[in-house]
Amino acid sequence: MLDTDQLRSFLAIVDTGSFTRAAERVHKTQSAVSMHIRRLEERLGCALFAKQGRGAKLTEDGERLVDHARRMIQAETGALAALSRKGLRGSVRLGIPDDYADAFLADILSRFTPRQPLVEVSVVCECSQDLAAQVAASTLDLALITDHEGLRGFELILEQRLVFVASKRFQPPADAPIPLALGATTCMWRRVAETAFANSPFRSRGLVYSKNYSAMSTVARAGLAAMVLPECMVGPELKILGPEHGVPELPLTRMGLIHAPGRATPETEALAEAIRETLDLSERKAA
């Protein structure tokens, strides 16, 4: 049998990237977390982490353990919640733009679901302005959105530099405008990009306009156009473009939470905390 306390320490290191931050998450000393990993490695007969500077990098065996460990912790938590009648049991209606969902939703739910396995999460993907209106009308409980003019009750979680990105095989056209994949007219990042080009010596042309992130992302990953993303959302298959590629610098963007009017439920607060942890970790990795 595997010790679930040891597995929790293992997953905390995986999620935070270091033994020190993992110890803070599981409320143990760093030496206790290190002991957990040594005993787990002894039980499994393999090394789970390789040293990488001050951080911890998973070995191939460690990578294989991650999904098994998450399922075991989730099963244990679910059984305890169901049989002891403890834990949260309600539902949360979450709003999140589809580009944020692509970058963060899986990690958010990976943190939230093992802790609250009986809570149902409904997800709505729209632009930030539409989600803010739905939260104000209490048709959504919570939304992770981009800060914008007229927004009230915004809790800033992450501030990031916006950048133009494209496939690593993208080649800026010589003596021609840069092709762009941009959002709909309501998209704030589209307006930022168009303003930046208008105030620069560089030229651009719209290749694709869409309210769906998947459409823009597909075009950018195919090497056909550049798109706009926060720096922390740039995946390994993309490269950041700069003035040397014919695009202007972009300003910062602010990501954060808004809550429906009235007292937040325990379920909503628990999901909000998982969102804060996910974005905080994303910022640390980007740094």
Structure tokens of 105?
């939703």
All domains in the chain, ordered by first residue: 1-86 (1.10.10.10), 159-252 (3.40.190.10)
Residue of 205, 219, 210 whose CA lies nearest to 182? 210
Structure tokens of 281?
């970790």
Q: Which amino acid is at 275?
A: I
Give the pLDDT of residue 54.
64
State how far the Cα of 54 lies from the Cα of 11, in Å rounded to an integer.
Answer: 17
Give the pLDDT of residue 175.
85
State how far the Cα of 257 lies from the Cα of 276, in Å rounded to an integer.
Answer: 9
Q: What is the separation of C-alpha 228 from the centre of its chain, rounded to a whole number of angstroms?
A: 16
Q: Which residues of the chain have pLDDT under 50?
A: none
Task: Specify the pTM.
Answer: 0.72
Give the pLDDT of residue 84.
61
Dump pLDDT digits (tens) for 208-256. 999 999 999 999 999 999 999 999 999 888 999 999 999 999 999 999 9
Burial 1-16 (b: 16+ CB within 10 A, else e): eeeeebbbbbbbbbbb
> Considering the chain, what is the average pLDDT of its residues?
89
Dump pLDDT digits (tens) for 88-97. 778 999 999 9
